[in-house]
Every structure is written in structure tokens, then in C-alpha cells.
Structure 1
């Protein structure tokens, strides 16, 4: 009787997991496809002015690969770069000035706003300062980009053309992250895959869509839309600032678009599992709005969708139950197939696709660790700063 009950439970759980994967495959905005690139675009008759804002905190190690690519932009209109040094202790500001002297190109202004006041994250305080400096030039667009992002020479031209042609207030590209170490190969493509599953790119660009997200490494923003959405002031405490920015712009009536990049790459290395763990865990619980019930639901959802298929297949085979093994095997097959396009985008071997359950288990542990660190008072820690959750900031105010 006990054996029959165990087999029946495995059958039902594996069937639910398979149903979940069929729904994800067909009904979640085709998130697994990687063909959402810059939309059709035409060069405008008159190129609008653009100011590039680069917040930077202790970025000397990567600045030499990122900043020169911005200074070398082949942009027909007026453009200049503002690097905002967010309290760096590694000579970031001096290196930026030296790179500008060495490479030339677009004009560069380097400035610092000082320490952020209570209720502001350091990056958004730096962005606020950069936007204030830029507005004195009255640009039509702002390019918000990180110090570790390298752009091809035509990147700005293509972004502006896409925004103008499509009538978008915000155009963002998910930079192609570095994938060189063993752990990067295992974790990084999955990071983008999971992001796309949460925020299907196809839905974001549709007029009237409710899904809103951006990729903070590369965001072209119409200055008028930024003022209308009151950014960054309206999102000053956001740890996941790119998604908050997109929601603010859409919420104020703006049109947004997000896709995968061909001309934008992140040069930041994450060679060890520890580095990737910190990248994910610092904001994972913030993504869940610091809600224990959402954490529990996420853990159970990850287990059902990603861990059940291989366990059901192996358990069904061990119990001698094809009825349990078959749904698990089919769910694992669908999961593997949906991951293949992302591995191809990152030019990675396809044998990594069946390992997605293991990577998902790592993400599950990172998410739980994010909550643990939050309740220990070390949540949302980054480069020497730890941020309170938004409701705590509001209470203090």
C-alpha cells in the first residue's frame, strides 16, 4: 500500500511539473526565444543630442574596457559623457580622466556627488547627479550605462535610431555578459534565461502591456520621459533599479522596449562561484519584496518546475513506474529544449542544457541565502554599502 501511494504521489507531482512546462513553453511570451533584438530602425533626418551618464564606484579594474568604447562612439549628433564617481577608493575618477586624455573622442566630464543621503542607493544618487549635470546641455536623450559595459562604435547610433523609429521613450539592451570560466558558463546564461522567463521580452515592447523591465547596463531614456516619471527620485531606494525604472516610465505613460544585445557586452568577470553567488543573492530577496510567503512560493515553484523533472524520471525508474518516469522525462526534455537557444546565443556547448536543474538548484540556494542575509542585517550589500528595505526607509522618514 505504501509503495503504491509513493508511486501515485510521484506520478501526480511529475504530471503537474510537465503541465507547468507546457504552459511556460506556449503561454509565457515565448520567453525562451532569443531573436528579440533591436527593432527595425531608420536613421533620423536630424540626430538628437545625447548625454551619456556612467555611475561608477571602484571600477578601475574594468573602466579601461568600458569608458573608451563610449568616448569612441561614431554618433552624428551632439553627444558627451558624464562619469559620476560614487565615492571610489581605487582611483576611478583619475583613471577616467587619463583615459579621456589618452583616447580622445567625445567630451568627458568627471564629477562626484558625495555620499548618498538616507533613502537613496549609491548608484541612483550618482545617476541623479549625472542627469542634473546633463540637463544643463538640454539633451533629448540620456544613455544610462554602467562602467563595465563595452559598446561597439555604432551602439549609440543604433539605439537612438531604434527609439526614434519606434517611438519608444526607453530602449534597453540586455548586455551580453562575460562567459569564460567554468562557473560563468554554468550560471550566466541561466541568469538571462530566468530573467526572460520572469519578464518576457516580447511582452515588454507591446503597447499597453503590463510587463515592464529594463537592463540597467544599457538604457536609452528620453529626457522628457525621465522628467515625467520623476526618475530617479521616484525610485531612489530601489535595489533592482532597472526594473523599477522601466515600471516608472511605463506607469507615467511611456513606451518601453527591451531585448538582447548584439553591440553591447559586459566585461565584468565572475570567475568564481562566490562572485556569482554575491551578484544574485544581494538582490534576490529584494525581488521578492522581502516577503516570506513569496520566498516560500518561489522555493516551491523552483523545486516543482526545475527539480521535480529529473527526480521524477530517476524516481520513476527506480520504482519501476513508467507512469511516473514519463512525465518527468518529458518535462526535463522541454526544459532542456527551451534552454538551448540561450546557450547558442552565448556560444556555449549544448551539453550544458540538461544541467539546468542543477543550476536552478544553485539559484534556489542563492535566493534562500539572500533572505538569510537580509534578516541578519547584511542584505542588499554591495561595495561596502548595505541598504535597508524600502518600507524601513519610509518608516525612518
Structure 2
């Protein structure tokens, strides 16, 4: 019982730090600031990498083409070797919307060795975009509320940001989506607290791949997409690239940007997470072991200690009050930090105490991700394997860790 008490106290200490000293990761607001309109609206080109997305594009592409942006705005759909007629569907949607002057569909050329498929498609879109001030990287499954592009640009120009990213609201229509998706976003925010991403000088850097508005010149000065060409988790890699180059970033949760991709089965969600979890750990067995141990300490110990301590109190066991009390307090703090995310997704906060069960599932998904990598199936997406980096390979080349600096950084943080 003494060992359980020590573990419970350690878990409680961890949760007190997370709740009060970890960048307010559990907060779901405030979202994009209103900002003031720029004197002249800069040109924006949206780049949409698409591989076998014919089914979802009718729900999403029209919302992007319909944006009433005050400046020049166009959309490039990059067909990344699709076999389902994605390019034809995109072109048809442009015709039906009467936006053929706003839409271009380009075919991605053969992917060079060492490039991840999506990053190569993004690069092809950048090449076709010309020289706009901003590039909006977005996914084929992302739908935009009216006026979203205008609000993104206003936030970037008024806040002098080089990268403005919005975490899309994901689907929670099915039972498994309701159980796992809010926790997925919660764990992402815990790993990359949004307020720390936004804070100048903080080392935390990330972005959400569904919606990333980037200053084109800053991206070029940082090394371009070539600097992250092998990244499987391209959004986090891009956020790190921009911030390490001196760029100013912003990341928020958003209701204006929504994903229309369904994950009806547990297997669909499992594959989505396991595909890249081990990549996030840089293919390191040591980081994998540390992550699993930390998940067990923070999420499994509190309910287990509460149960063990309660049984010990009923049996008059010595020191049983310590694990019972510390475990319950840690479990309570955990649930309290998860409740705002559940409310954001319109779900009952009464689901919050079940978070340890979801965390254990995530631990299993992470282990499975490592297993898939070791068997040669890691990172496979839509039938195409990702580049295989060496174990422990850093997310960015060493030359990009502070070598280049963005235009805004060289001007004292003020973009021209």
C-alpha cells in the first residue's frame, strides 16, 4: 500500500502541474481575435492536397470556393495520384459553383525519393501558386464556414503572425468518435499547449494540418517544404520549421473549420492514430517506453489507487488513506481538465471520469504503431508507404534548428 500511495502522490503532483502550469492546455478558447482589417487585403492561394478524395470533396470544396474574401483568392487542388477520379470531381465542382476562374486542378508529378506523399503534393501546390503573400494549406476533408479565410488573414495581419493555424472540429457522429475524438484533441493540446505555441519566445511549436495559413516568404526563408520533405506529421513539422526560423505562430481550436471525414469504426480511428504515433516519438524505443510509463502514471494510477485505497480503508490497512485520497484528487483534477473539451464537442462532462480508459487505448495504439513500423507497415496511408527514417532521426534537419530566420524576425518581428 505504501508503494501505491507514492505513485498516487506522484500522479497528483503531475496533474496539479498540468492543470496550473502547463500553458492552460485544457482551455478551449478564446479562438481567433477580431483584429482590424488591413489597409490592403493580401493575395491568398489555398493548396488542397488530395489523394482518392472524390467522395468527400463535394462536401468541402464548395465551402472553400464560396469564401467571400475581399482580396485575391484562388484554390489549387493537387491530385496526388488518385485512382477514383478526384481531379474530375474537383473540376466538376468548380463548374457547378461557377468558380472556374478561382479553381485550378493540377496533377502532382512523380514523388521524388525521400518525400512524404502529402508534403510533396503541398510542394507541387506551392510551385503552382506563384507569389501570393499567403498560402493556405488545407485538407480535402475540411469545410469552411463563410468568412473564415477573411478572419484568418485579419488575425495574421493584425497580430503580425507568420503562421495562423486552426484545429478543425472533428466528427463525433458515431459512438466510437464520441469516445475517442475529444480525447485525441485533448491529448494533442496537452502535448502542444496552444497558448505556448502562440506565445513568442516559447519553444513549443505545432500546427493543425487541416488549416494552416502561412506567409510564403517566411516559409521560403525557413527552408521551404524541402526542409520537412520526409515528415509524416507535416503540420507539427511545419509549425516547428516556422517558429525555429523566428516566425510568429498562432494555434486555436475552431468551430469555423470542420472535418467531414467519418471514422465510423474503432478500426478506422485506431489506424488513423497508429499510423503516425511512433513517428511522433521519432522512432525511439526509449521515448516509447517513457511515454507508456507516463501514460500509466498519469491516467491508470489515479483510479487504480482510488480503488486500492478504498478497499484498504474498508479492511483497516495501514497507509490506505494516502492512495485513496491522492488517487481521488488526481482523478478529479484529470476529469476537470477534460470536461471543457467534452463541452466543446457538445458532450456531457459526465464522460470525463472515463478518460483513463481512453488513455489506455491510446497507449495500446502507440505500441501498435511501433509494432507496425518494425514490421515495415508504419506510416502506410491509402496504399502508399511513407519514407522510413532512421531510428531517432530528428523531426527537422540540424541545419534548420535556428539557422534560417524569417523576414519578420529579421525586421524585429514586424513583417512588411
* TM-score interval for Structure 1 and Structure 2 normalised by the shorter chain: over 0.9
TM-score (norm 2): 0.91
Shift of 1:363: 0.2
Picking from 51, 64, 88, the partner of 1:70 is: 64
Query: Alignment partner for residue 191 of structure 1, among 184, 188, 191?
Result: 184
Asked whether the 8 Å contact 1:71–1:104 carries over to 2, the reply is: no
Tell which deviates more after alignment, 158-167 or 31-40. Answer: 31-40
List runs of 5+ in structure 1 lacking aligned partners: 1-6
- Separation in 1, partners of 2:179, 2:46: 33
Structure 1 or 2: larger helix share? 1
Decide whether the 8 Å contact of 1:314 with 1:325 is kept in 2: yes
Deviation string for 1:356-380 (max 9, x for gaps)?
0000000000000000000000011
Q: Which residue of 2 aligns with 1:3?
A: none
> Is contact 1:115–1:122 with CA below 8 Å preserved after alignment?
no
The Cα of 1:148 is off from its aligned counterpart by 0.2
Contact 2:116 2:387 in 1 (8 A): no
Moved more, 16-25 or 110-119: 110-119
Q: Give the equivalent residue in structure 1 for 2:365.
A: 366
Q: Displacement of 1:111 after TM fit? A: 0.9
Distance 1:279 1:186 in 2: 15
Q: Which runs of 4+ in 1 moved over 4 A?
A: none
- Matches of 2:83 and 2:64, distance apart in 1: 23
Tell me the residue number matched to 2:301. Answer: 308
Q: Are 1:348 and 2:343 matched, yes or no?
A: no
Choose from 125, 130, 142 the match for 2:125.
130
Selected match of 2:24 from 6, 16, 30: 30
Cross-structure match for 1:237: 230
Given the two structures, how large is their TM-score scaled by the length of structure 1? 0.95
From 38, 45, 50, the equivalent of 1:44 is: 38
What's the offset of the Cα at 1:349? Answer: 1.5
Instruction: Please give the alpha-carbon distance, in whole angstroms, between the structure 2 residues aligned to 1:246 and 1:384.
Output: 27
8 Å Cα contact 1:141-1:223 kept in structure 2: yes
**What do residues 298-328 of structure 1 show as CA deviations (whole Å, max 9, x unaligned)?**
0000000001111111111122222221111
- For 1:379 and 1:109, the matched residues in 2 are separated by 33
What is residue 210 of structure 1 aligned with on the other side?
203
Is 2:82 the counterpart of 1:83?
no
2:276 to 256, 271, 283: 283
Secondary structure in 2 matching 1:280: helix
Task: State the alpha-carbon separation in 2 of the partners of residues 159 and 378 from structure 1.
Answer: 37
- Verify: 1:13 aligned to 2:7, yes or no: yes
Structure 1 residue matching 2:56: 3-state secondary structure: helix
Which segment drifts farther, 109-118 or 279-288?
109-118
1:112 correspondence with 2:107: yes
Contact 1:214 1:245 in 2 (8 A): yes
**Residue correspondences, number:** 386
Which of 231, 239, 254 matches 1:246? 239
What displacement does 1:390 show? 2.5
SS in 2 for 1:388: coil
CA drift at 1:36: 3.5
1:90-122 CA deviation, whole Å, 9 max, x = no partner? 111100001011112361110112331110011
- For the residues of structure 2 that align with 1:226 and 1:150, how far apart are their CA atoms? 24
Alpha-carbon offset, residue 39 of structure 1: 2.6
- Please report how far the alpha carbon of residue 251 of structure 1 lies from its aligned counterpart in structure 2 after TM superposition: 1.4
Partner of 2:50: 56
SS in 2 for 1:386: coil
Could you report, residue by residue, the CA deviation over 1:181-223 in whole angstroms, capped at 9, with x for unpaired residues?
1110010000110011011111111111111000000000011
Q: Aligned pair in 2 of structure 1 residues 111, 353: CA closer, same or farther (>3 Å)?
A: same
* Aligned counterparts of 1:112 and 1:358: Cα–Cα separation in 2: 44
Partner of 1:4: none
1:393–1:113 distance in 2 versus 1, CA, 3 Å: farther
Shift of residue 389 of structure 1?
A: 2.9
Describe the SS at the equivalent of 2:275: helix
User: Runs of 5+ in structure 2 lacking a partner?
Assistant: 314-319, 394-416
Query: Does the 8 Å contact 1:82/1:108 carry over to 2?
Result: yes
The Cα shift of 1:273 comes to 0.5
Report the Cα distance in structure 2 between the residues aligned to 1:140 and 1:13, rounded to whole angstroms: 52
Deviations 1:147-176 (A, max 9, x none): 000001201000000000000010000001
Q: Secondary structure at the match of 1:234?
A: helix
Once the 2 structures are TM-superposed, how far is the Cα of residue 45 of structure 1 from its aligned partner? Answer: 1.8
